[in-house]
């Protein structure tokens, strides 16, 4: 889905759920809707702050929580223990591959990038 279409779709869902659309929240939505990679909350904050200079990090976390509850984004647990967020897509995805076990937590498939794992 093109990012402008994704943003429009997200805005419809966000507002129809009864959430207030503030300039800070809009900035966070724009950053995430236009991203195709996993972003940390700090990366989202820094990018969105260009659009909404009065944005606070707490507003980023609260908006991420709303977007995750609306199933518009997915939390990605990274090997370093940090969490990131990415656009949610329909269908099965392998967003997390366990570093030591080489097995997807969702479907238990083997890590295709490491053929040495049993």
CA distance 62 to 112: 35
Q: Is the pLDDT of residue 4 over 90?
A: no
* Model confidence band, residue 76 (pLDDT cutoffs 50, 70, 90): confident
All domains of the chain in start order, with CATH: 3-87 (1.10.10.10), 90-118 (no CATH)
Would you tell me the crossing angle of helices 23-33 and 3-16 to the nearest 10 degrees? 140
DSSP 53: T
pLDDT at 3: 62
Whole-structure pTM value: 0.72
């Amino acid at each position: 889905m093109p990012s402008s279409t994704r943003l429009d779709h997200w805005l419809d869902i966000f507002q129809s759920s009864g959430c207030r659309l503030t300039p800070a929240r809009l900035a966070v939505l724009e950053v995430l809707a236009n991203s195709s990679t996993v972003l940390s909350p700090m990366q989202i904050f820094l990018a969105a702050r260009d659009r909404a200079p009065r944005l606070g990090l707490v507003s980023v976390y609260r908006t991420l929580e709303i977007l995750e509850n609306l199933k518009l984004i997915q939390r990605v647990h990274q090997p370093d223990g940090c969490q990131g967020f990415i656009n949610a897509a329909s269908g099965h995805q392998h967003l997390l591959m366990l570093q030591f076990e080489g097995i997807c937590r969702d479907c238990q498939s083997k890590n295709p990038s490491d053929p040495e794992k049993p």
